[in-house]
Structure 1
């Protein structure tokens, strides 16, 4: 075949380019969701953000370097302070005063105060005045409708906080979760329905205090970022940013129990009351938190730290080596968002335009390189395929490595699913294109050889043209032989035309069964059929389909024989032999005319086994290796230790009775069990006992050839016992 012209080659490469661009476009539409949000791969895409956090690990900041400190309300708090949670509001007023004495910048209380304090209005008045006094406090607010828009319910809205009017210092604590239930995003504000009225979210409200902005200031929403004072926060989507989690829950920020903030000289804890002494963790002159600079210029968030608060969230970070431990209390989630804003340590993502360019690059690169690899012609085609797969795997691994690296070093969240989808689909597309472009050549080869060779051989030659040569390879295969019993008498009863007609009917039926069971028809020799399993098509267990085919052929033969008897035609009895062993397979013959066949001692043994059926009165005989490979699926009974003609070494042969799953009759199973007992007695030279057992088996299965044979042998050995060194081996004198 002449090489393609430059025009044809150019046209082929243009087709490749068009196909690659089409694949890239499909990925952009269905995976990137650039046109419509199909959301097919959202969960998978989001999971790579979590994997990026896991690969990066905690950020390299000590707790002292972080600006946020968490004051926890825990189980310990409830047992240490006089009042049970929910605490009287004057506790929070005391905490605010003490923290401001210690020099904090701002305080966020992650608790909603929707109703008056049941312990008395004086508690509310004290907290209200304290918030008004310091004007650096944010309390939690919430909205009526929790959606992506986080909308607000009423016209005269206090955002579920009776202290809103103190300083308008309320922040919405609603945080949106993703489709997999994980909290990765943070909204800068909430919007009232049907109005242009907004409330800042909790962390952004605290940032208003840090940046000395009015309490109600909301971030400006621009095309690519949210702007709050001098902070330019990159958007993740239209309504949120990504939280850059600094580390796993409970191990990242400094944490103090609220009792340590309340315990000044004017506050008596349960422990102090029991011990009749003052501890004063907060303002003790020697070790108190007031004097050690812990809170100087820090931002403090106060919130619940006990499971009953139902304030736990699934987040992107977890303890190292324990991905399931990713629950974080809400106050710490807000702390991570707030610290992200203070450090301006934002996470960025590629714009849809640049993501599309990335997809297009990987599409063109993958398709081109894989096509070039597959165009290499070699007798070791599998090496080329391995190289192509290795290249695709290396590209995917490189994409993942790049993703984790730029996330850790540059805070960039690269898309993973869409580029990898482009790589995989272009590899598949290249393979499909290669198949289609070579199909004409394969059809031509098939047309040239199918009329001379078995179709399976033709397919093998199409897949491996290098096999069009003399020689072969040695491999374990299963060979099958069959022969019509008493064919001479069979043929003498028919004229030539009728004989050929019946033979064609018989051989066609047998051939169909062989091919249906993945066998290769080797040849016909008159009425004899030779077939092979395991070549050229590789089979995990070549013996099993060969045995199934033999059983199906015997069933078909009984069907044909019944019909022929009705038509007055000769009886059809076919004997079969199967052997599994190593044999040489390949193209055998001259350089211009050759046959794909098997040769070797194992092939000859298969033929001898087929002939041995005549001696034992059986229809299907298999070798020991064949029986070993099919014993779990097939019922075989041992026939003999046999030395076939032309050999000196005995082999163990078996009769193939049937497939276990097909439901073999109980009477046959019992007869075989009795027969096997007789064979055991026979080999122990207990010939009279063996004869009685074989007779019992024969009574249950009157046409059992092996039982008849062994009764005859027992009679002979009873009359003329074998020599002392007799080992039960029978030597055949004929083929």
Structure 2
């Protein structure tokens, strides 16, 4: 009976979680404060769609006026010389441009700069007979709109004007252009067209009144009356050369030229312009008419002319972006949250995270496909948030209902198991079963030098006190570097890094722990010296590799530990320090992971007892960000030169280098060792098959 009640309660709570989280998802999708997050997601959709690649559209050509095209003839470029614009329009008209749309304002006449320039420009407008330009709307103190048109002198030659205002939003930290108002109504009741709307009407032959009606009936608009621009792709990217000319470094989704290519000597063929809508914009590097769009990544701004072209193409191709219906969103939310909640209360952590990621990918994939193929904008961030809220809510429920079982496990094992091990058991009780998992970790073996003889000179009480203080200090250092104490073996310490919990840069943390252990022991030696206690030194061996880590033993008794060849190699390296007179030896497997972060010197290539494969070993000296003294650097430099000579069988020259190294530190044991070896090889040269490998005969 109790089991049935618990089951019903569980179903009730999980159902409540699904319903509440789904409602939260709908709330977030409607919340204006969350819109910027959804807009950022829409930007990602645009970039993903464009990464597939597409051919430039055939209907539009953009011409950007640059400084090089005008500086030589006029000596100035701001404001743009009207005489030059007249010449550009004549060129485009002669090449057969169907419509010429100028995204440059003509609010004033410039007779003071060029007496004939305005007249020439008006003449070009009339001669071409297909030119349109821009106006701009402003808001007065009461929030009402009013339109600023071009000077009446130029209006006589234009086929129409449209306001160039674009809608910006602050999502992503930078004001981004994602929308345009197709029409705007001023207080006197007159309705004006956007520049892109004007281009669409003239290009398609639609009456303005018919277009205004279609905006109200056919074009999906946001709450503020804006149309989301369905950008067809990123803009062209340009680089200015030293000679002032611009070169295109990356082709855009709309064919774009610089005006210097049209009015200069290298004129473009007419077929590239003929029959197309040509949009002229100011392409100066100093112009403020540049915007952040979904494709912005730090430098690839989109000029206003390019934004208007994308808005025009959205209308021309009728590739409008619509918000998904609430019913569709509710269905998706219920399905996603139900799956996530059910998985969370039934499976383990790894499966939960995996399913959460999969459901997130499903949400994004579905939203992307609807966006690309249907022009539907689903609030994918709200859906993603709902998935993870469902996971966290179900996890909290699961944690509350299972807390008693976790307390039982903690009470059973906390007294004799490492804390990290207990935490693993609490998260996944299945680890109580025998067995282990293979993982790469770093292993540290440490042992006190001459502990047996030292113990003979101390009373049992003194020995225990010294050993406890030593083990406590060394273990503390290991914990500070994120290591796990595997076991004590008398005076020996076995620690692992990267298990049972994963650890980034575990090899580096193991090296830092070894160096800090030596520093901590040096401080203890000073303290013990004042008490008349022996001078204690320890030897450390470090190795990195794959081991089996987990419960090892029998059903009666087992340990949570690691086994494998790399564990054994760590122990052998600790002992190998005796042969070289060193106190911290690391294997090549550890060194390869930390080579840029620590200071080492090459010790040897050895084959440890019981093994057949040689291993290159190094003495760990310090951290890379802690520079050595001049004497230490010179010692290592001469020593390394000696090692190279030794391995190339130049015994006598190697002896000279090692002897020079000893002048900087006369107690350097590795140098002394190699002097002895070189002398032995001078007396009894090795065979031709000698490869420099040294075989250890003891542990």
TM-score normalised per structure 1: 0.64
| Conserved? CA contact 1:149–1:190, under 8 Å | no
Aligned residue for 2:361? 393
Task: Quote the residue 2:635 is aligned against.
Answer: 671
Could you say which residue in structure 1 is the equivalent of 2:192? 201
Which residue, out of 463, 467, 471, partners 1:503? 467
8 Å Cα contact 1:359/1:422 also seen in 2? no
Superimposed CA distance per residue, residues 31-65 of structure 1 (whole angstroms, 9 cap, x where no aligned partner): 5325xx5653374366489789989999xx999xx
**1:594 and 2:594 correspond:** no
2:185 equivalent in structure 1 = 190
Q: Which of 135, 140, 145 is residue 151 of structure 1 equivalent to?
A: 145
Aligned residue for 2:30?
A: 32
Quote the residue 1:535 is aligned against.
499
Deviation at 1:456, TM superposition (A): 2.5
TM-superposed CA distance for 1:360, in Å, is: 4.6
How far is the alpha carbon of 1:304 from its aligned partner?
A: 9.0
| Secondary structure, counterpart of 1:622 in structure 2 | strand
Aligned to 1:237: 223
1:20–1:367 Cα contact (<8 Å) kept? yes
Measured against aligned partners, the alpha-carbon deviations of 1:664-716 in whole angstroms (never above 9, x if no partner) come to 22211211222333445555666555444433322211222223334455566
Structure 1: how far apart are the matches of 2:656 and 2:149? 104
SS at match of 2:663: helix
User: How far apart are 1:452 and its partner, in Å?
Assistant: 1.9
2:37 maps to 41
Distance 1:85 1:707 in 2: 80
Matched, 1:694 2:664: no
CA RMSD between the two structures: 5.9
2:541 to 577, 591, 594: 577
Larger radius of gyration: 1
Q: Which residue of 1 aligns with 2:485?
A: 521
Change (3 A) 1:317 1:376: closer
1:365 aligns with 2:296: no
Q: 1:723 to 1:448 in 2, by over 3 A?
A: same
Cross-structure match for 2:430: 466
SS at the partner of 1:709? helix
Shift of 1:614: 2.5
Match of 2:168 in 1: 178
In 2, the alpha carbon distance for the partners of 1:464 and 1:32 equals 39
2: distance between equivalents of 1:311 and 1:245?
Answer: 21
Q: CA deviation at 1:403?
A: 3.7
Q: CA 1:347–1:313 in structure 2 vs 1: closer, same or farther (change >3 Å)?
A: farther
Match of 1:448 in 2: 412
Q: Counterpart in 1 of 2:72?
A: none
Report if aligned partners of 1:358, 1:419 keep a CA contact under 8 Å in 2: no
Whole-angstrom CA distance in 1 between matches of 2:618 and 2:639: 13
Work out whether residues 643 and 651 of structure 1, in 8 Å CA contact, stay in contact via their aligned partners in 2.
Answer: yes
1:310-459 alignment runs, 5 A limit: 328=305, 349=322, 355=326, 359-377=329-347, 382=350, 385-407=353-375, 414-427=378-391, 429-430=393-394, 434=398, 438=402, 441-459=405-423
Query: 1:315, 1:631 → 2: CA distance?
Result: 42
CA distance in 1, matches of 2:178, 2:521: 70
Please say if residues 363 and 380 of structure 2, whose CA atoms lie closer than 8 Å, have aligned partners that are also in contact: no
Cα distance in 1 between the residues matched to 2:160 and 2:614: 96
Contact 1:27 1:422 in 2 (8 A): yes
Deviations 1:520-567 (A, max 9, x none): 322112111122334333456543332221111111111101111012
- SS of match in other structure, 2:415: coil
Query: How many Å apart are 1:623 and its aligned residue?
Result: 3.2
Q: What do residues 293-344 of structure 1 show as CA deviations (whole Å, max 9, x unaligned)? A: x9xxxxxxxx9954469999989999xxxx988865899899879989xxxx
Residue number among 587, 606, 612 corresponding to 1:623 in the alignment: 587
Separation in 2, partners of 1:114, 1:148:
24
Change (3 A) 1:472 1:39: closer
Classify the secondary structure of the residue corresponding to 1:532. Answer: strand
8 Å contact from structure 1 (residues 557, 573) kept in 2: yes
Residues 375 and 497 (structure 1), Cα distance of their counterparts in 2 relative to 1, 3 Å cut: same
Could you tell me which residue of structure 1 aligns to residue 78 of structure 2?
none
Unaligned 5+ residue runs, structure 2?
Answer: 66-81, 87-100, 120-131, 170-174, 236-252, 255-274
Instruction: Report how many aligned residue pairs link the two structures.
Output: 607
Q: Is the 8 A contact 2:149 2:161 kept in 1?
A: no
Q: Aligned-pair distance for 1:617?
A: 1.9
Give the Cα separation in 1 of the matches to 2:615 and 2:133.
91
Segments of structure 1 that go 5 or more residues without pairing to the other structure are 64-68, 75-82, 88-107, 124-137, 253-293, 295-302
Match of 1:40, SS? helix
1:393-421 CA-to-partner distances (Å, cap 9, x unmatched) read 113211332344433xxxx6555544444
5 Å matches for 1:98-137? Answer: none
SS in 2 for 1:578: strand
Matches within 5 A, 1:202-281: 202=193, 235-239=221-225
C-alpha change, 1:445 and 1:241, in structure 2 (3 Å) is: same
Kept in 2, the 8 Å contact 1:248–1:326? The answer is no
Partner of 1:531, secondary structure, is strand
2-structure distance, mates of 1:331, 1:628: 55
Equivalence for 1:654: 618
Q: 2:76 maps to which residue?
A: none
Instruction: Sort the Cα spacing of 1:29 and 1:660 in 2 relative to 1 into closer, same or farther, 3 A.
Output: same
Query: Is 1:609 the equivalent of 2:580?
Result: no
> Structure 1 residues 469 and 147, CA, compared in 2 at 3 Å: closer, same or farther?
farther
**Matched residue SS, 1:515:** helix
Contact 1:642 1:652 (C-alpha < 8 Å) held by counterparts: yes
Q: Does 1:721 align with 2:684?
A: yes
Corresponding residue for residue 554 of structure 1: 518
| SS of residue matched to 1:178 | strand
Q: Which position in structure 2 is the counterpart of 1:708?
A: 672
Name the CA distance, whole Å, in 2 between partners of 1:654 and 1:211. 81
Cα pair distance change 1:175/1:631, threshold 3 Å: closer
User: Alpha-carbon deviation of 1:624?
Assistant: 3.9
CA offset digits 1:582-634 (Å, max 9, x no partner): 54443222212111223344433433332232333221223343344433333
In 2, Cα distance between the equivalents of 1:679 and 1:338? 75
Q: Deviations over 1:205-258 (max 9, x none)?
A: 999xx9999x9x9989xxxx987xxx6876532545668999999x99xxxxxx
What is the CA distance between 1:568 and its match in structure 2?
1.7
Retained in 1: the 8 A contact 2:293–2:302? no
SS in 2 for 1:702: coil
**TM-score, length-scaled by structure 2:** 0.67
SS at match of 1:41: helix
